[in-house]
Amino acid sequence: MAERLLEIDNLRVEYHTDDGVVTAVEDLQLHVEKGQTVGLVGETGAGKTTTALSIMRLVPAPPGRIVSGSVHFHGEDLLHKRLDEIKKIRGNKISMIFQDPMTSLNPVLTIGFQIEEAVVLHQGLDARAARARAGEMLRLVGIPPEREGDYPHEFSGGMRQRVGIAMALSCNPELLIADEPTTALDVTIQAQVLELMKRLRQQFSTSMLLITHDLGVVAEVCDQVAIMYAGTIVEYADVNTLFTNPRHPYTRGLFGSIPSLDEEVTRLNPIKGLMPDPTALPSGCKFHPRCPMAGEICKTRVPQTTNLGQGHSVHCMIYEGLVPGYEE
């Protein structure tokens, strides 16, 4: 078995707001093996970004609080490290690409400076070497190094995201967390960025946690997929299994909701209802009010993990034999 680079166990994160306590992430288990790309898929409010921020210890506190659990990176629990130790890891061994390249870059600093800052801080390069590294990183992502003196607003959205990637890769991280890296981009630009990410991953064998709501992007770049709903992972499998044999009713519902480009589907088959109110999550299985398969027991009992073999696991009472399943 490959080495586990990142292992998240029983993670629970809460936000204490005026409207009550929001449990954004509940008993989350997830791991990333060396060299793998794991997709974390879910809709707005599923807890994807909170999970990512927890790994980096960037959950805004208050109102956020990591209540329990562990995040092991190279066998060491990041949640129990001192802040100065975490700072050495952030942006160095673990780095992040954010969704919106306009707000994640500092508008009053040149992009060259912003890349150099990281390598000076983490790798102790002198000014000249840092400058050379920044130029090299820019070339790598297809931006002429002469533009290092330009400011973020002088670039288009796609180029800005490539600057974000250059910055994230500048210290040659072992783990890259990409939070919806292409969501703000047009499709032709998205294709450029995805192509770039795939190429760089091969070149540097960086492990990646890719957060997205787009199953198309997942099929394109991920090895493993975790489907997240209301703070928990409801299904986990390798990308082939998940796309050919989805088991959880929510996963199936997601596939039924996407318009197909290559098939004639006259009517979509959406999931009924809405995402639950995060301050008042349903009892039992959190998906039961929207689930077409739900039985009485789903209202009260929390589903356990069922292993279906070959690393495919699902959180659903159907596979515990407690609720009638699909007719296959």
Binding site for other proteins (CB under 8 A): 43-44, 156, 158-159, 186-192, 194-195, 213-220, 239-240, 243-244, 253-262, 264-265, 267-272, 274-275
Which of residues 79 and 189 has its CB atom nearest to other proteins in the complex? 189
Considering only CA atoms, which of 220, 137, 138, 218 is closest in space to residue 173? 137
Which of residues 124 and 188 has its CB atom nearest to other proteins in the complex? 188
Residue 189, phi then psi, degrees to nearest 5: -75, -40
The Cα-based distances of 67 to 22, 54, 64 in angstroms read 12, 11, 9
Cα R_g (the chain), whole angstroms: 21
Which of residues 268 and 280 has its CB atom nearest to other proteins in the complex? 268
Considering only CA atoms, which of 70, 76, 60 is closest in space to residue 28? 70
The CB-of-48 to other proteins minimum distance in angstroms stands at 12
The CB-of-70 to other proteins minimum distance in angstroms stands at 30
The CB-of-190 to other proteins minimum distance in angstroms stands at 7
The CB-of-222 to other proteins minimum distance in angstroms stands at 10
Which of residues 18 and 84 has its CB atom nearest to other proteins in the complex? 18
The CB-of-53 to other proteins minimum distance in angstroms stands at 20
Which of residues 1 and 261 has its CB atom nearest to other proteins in the complex? 261
Are the CB atoms for 232 and 28 separated by under 8 Å? yes
Which of residues 257 and 310 has its CB atom nearest to other proteins in the complex? 257
Kindly tell me the burial class for residue 146, based on how many C-beta atoms sit within 10 Å of its own C-beta (0-12, 13-18, 19 or more): exposed
Which of residues 108 and 274 has its CB atom nearest to other proteins in the complex? 274
The CB-of-158 to other proteins minimum distance in angstroms stands at 6
Are the CB atoms for 109 and 48 separated by under 8 Å? no
Which of residues 135 and 253 has its CB atom nearest to other proteins in the complex? 253
d(CA 161, CA 99): 8
The CB-of-186 to other proteins minimum distance in angstroms stands at 4
**Separation of CA 143 from chain center:** 26
Retrieve residue 179's tokens: 């939070």
Do you know the residue count of the chain? Answer: 328
The CB-of-200 to other proteins minimum distance in angstroms stands at 15
Strand order in the sheet with 64-73: 20-33, 4-17, 64-73, 76-77
The CB-of-83 to other proteins minimum distance in angstroms stands at 35
d(CA 257, CA 261): 13
Peptide bond into 173 cis (omega under 30): no
Which of residues 20 and 270 has its CB atom nearest to other proteins in the complex? 270
Q: What are the counts of helices (DSSP H) followed by strands (DSSP E) for the chain?
A: 10, 12
